[in-house]
Structure 1
Amino acid sequence: MLSFLLRAAALLGLAALLSACSGAAVLNALTSRAGYETARSVRYAPGPRGTLDLYVPDDAGPRTPVVVFFYGGSWDSGSKSLYRFVGQSLASQGYAVAVPDYRVYPEVRFPDFVEDGAKAVAAVERLAREGGDGLPAGRHPIVLMGHSAGAQIAALLAFDERYRRAAGARERLAGFVGLAGPYNFLPLREERYKRIFPLSTREASQPIRFVDGAPGEPPAFLAAGLSDTTVDPKNTRSMAARIRAVGGRVEERLYPDLDHIGAVSSLATALPLGQRQLRADLLDFLGRITGARRP
């Protein structure tokens, strides 16, 4: 069962962990600027939230994998500016990272934010093919990744390919990474979430419904903390079980004493937050599915 505290967890959790007024700002201030370049607010769609930040390793080449990371925020908040630490963490290991903003409630409702995500993925594909904003043209493996509500968005993009096709994306994904994601969270109980997910489209908001073992489904890495009281780890268990049941490839990792925010703060290299093992497991997965050589 999904516990609907995603907004507070995504936006305030880092602050609580760091005992500062703006925990994410402190974490990002401590994050290294060395070894990569950042292209800010690359346009992928109209409007103030139609941009992404792109982190590109200094030694990027035509086969450098690209990770598209969708942040959480309860589908009604969040900002790409909070996630430099994610970009740096993966760029330091040889991955380019795109972090899109996307429209949120009350401006939009489901599935609009997923459609925004699809447009961002299509724009990243074009950059990968044609080059630009520091990324060399080439054949870049693309991985979709998300935390919390962002993992729901990324999972739908990975397993319901209609979104990506409608946006013009055409590349086969190299992989999907879900961190503390809600994949199977009906029934809804809070009125606000019933408004975000209208009844007519509610069933289609559940990523688990679209896992069918089709040839194009990417290998998945699903991670959650057993101390997560925001999104029940049962979401990760059920999603992993479904992928296995249809013959898909999935690596399921459940970490004792890790909470909801720890699932993403574990990626930070500036401070010892969360669990180092999660980052190590994630990097091992990424290296294997993309063929990337770890520095």
Structure 2
Amino acid sequence: MYLLHAQTDAEFNLPYSPARVLKINIIVLNHLFSWVVDLPIVLTYLYWRYWQLGTEKFRRIVSRDVVYSEASKECVLDIYHPDGKTKIPTKKRPTIVFIHGGSWSSGQKLIYTPMGNTLRELGYVVVIPDYRKYPAGHSAGAQLAAQVVLSDLLKKASLLSAKGNTDIHAHCLPQVEGLLLFAGVYNIETHYQHEAARGVEKISAMGRAMGATIENFRRNSPLELVKSHADLFATSEDLLDFAPRILFVHGEKDTTVPLQQSTDMYNMLGEVLPPERRDEVDIRMRLYKKLKHAHCVSALMPSKLGANRHCKPLIRDIMDFVEVPSLDEQA
């Protein structure tokens, strides 16, 4: 994962504006409150990890710290292995790669162990990587995933149209069947404006990670990537053939990343796709009325206080999306 033109020479300055300080204090208090609310999740994880499973069984379920790149010591991942109790046949088990968020500057895979196990118990192979953070994609992870996969899609279409080159495997990523994008940022410019309105744009790493200029914001925005290649989406048969299925999930109570980020991206894809072929590209939107930013992930984590009310509908939407038969299976 990498970003174009990230700013590495910026100094960190604390804001002194009273209004800005007040806004930041409110945000910090909200975060502290959310940590208290999430304490049962932490206790459930510790109980499951050390009392129910112990060390040896955990090692059989999870392969930890598998190196996937020598570029950085952060480039390691965990693999969650489903057991034989699931209904999904072994040879057909989909693999879900979860790229966590953290404002492009923080977060680690260990935090998402309970969620990884929830998906593992559904019968999926789950891969959760750590990756290089700024200054060395759920919300940030959704942006990273969308930017990388859509850039690769456009590269495949360009290679095939320009050269008729069928050996794209040497130059492109393996085929990604689908993107599950939870509460993502797809337009960096408008999200920076949102951060400024909240008074956090100076302490957030996003502006610096994305290059600190409007031009670089647009270069790193999946929405702008799609918009600037509208002609390929409209005319390239190859692009639509390789296009991944996409599921957008967003909560209407999300104040960290506004719902508009997902709706704008969803609508942009609808605009650039030819009307006669829109049904061939599976793009879905699922909105949750009372879901906040972190809850689309934390709802999938077991808690000593019982299952989150969003857990079942989220699992239903994930399974409905992931387990759609491929065209080969349908034939």
Q: TM-score range by the shorter chain?
A: 0.7 to 0.9
In the alignment, which residue of structure 2 is the partner of 1:151? 142
In the alignment, which residue of structure 2 is the partner of 1:203? 218
In the alignment, which residue of structure 2 is the partner of 1:115? none
Q: TM-score, normalised by structure 1?
A: 0.72
What's the offset of the Cα at 1:273? 2.6
1:286 aligns with 2:322: yes
Distance 1:236 1:4 in 2: 25
1:55 aligns with 2:72: no
In the alignment, which residue of structure 1 is the partner of 2:290? 257
Which residues in structure 2 correspond to 1:71-220 (within 5 Å)? 71-106=100-135, 108=136, 147-161=138-152, 170-187=173-190, 188=192, 189=196, 190-191=201-202, 192-198=205-211, 199=213, 201-211=216-226, 212=230, 213=233, 214-215=239-240, 216-220=242-246
Distance 2:219 2:326 in 1: 29
In the alignment, which residue of structure 2 is the partner of 1:238? 264
Q: Please identify, of 53-62 and 248-257, the stretch whose mean Cα deviation from structure 2 is larger.
A: 53-62
- Are the equivalent residues in 1 in contact too, given 2:78–2:127 (CA < 8 A)? yes
Distance 1:67 1:95 in 2: 7
Unaligned segments of structure 1, at least 5 residues: 109-145
Structure with more of its chain in strand, by fraction: 1
1:229 aligns with 2:265: no
Structure with more of its chain in helix, by fraction: 2
Distance 2:268 2:247 in 1: 13
- Are the equivalent residues in 2 in contact too, given 1:266–1:279 (CA < 8 A)? no
In the alignment, which residue of structure 1 is the partner of 2:46? 29
What's the offset of the Cα at 1:163? 8.9
What's the offset of the Cα at 1:12? 6.6
- Are the equivalent residues in 1 in contact too, given 2:248–2:286 (CA < 8 A)? yes
What's the offset of the Cα at 1:85? 1.5
1:167 and 1:179, CA in 2 relative to 1: closer, same or farther beyond 3 A? farther
- Are the equivalent residues in 2 in contact too, given 1:158–1:217 (CA < 8 A)? no
Q: TM-score, normalised by structure 2?
A: 0.65
- Are the equivalent residues in 2 in contact too, given 1:174–1:219 (CA < 8 A)? yes
- 1:46-99 per-residue CA deviation (whole Å, 9 max, x = no partner) reads 232110000011237333211110011001100000111221111111110110
1:44 aligns with 2:64: no
User: Percent identity of the aligned residues?
Assistant: 28
Residue type of the alignment partner of 1:273: N
Distance 1:25 1:264 in 2: 14
Distance 2:245 2:28 in 1: 30
In the alignment, which residue of structure 2 is the partner of 1:16? 36
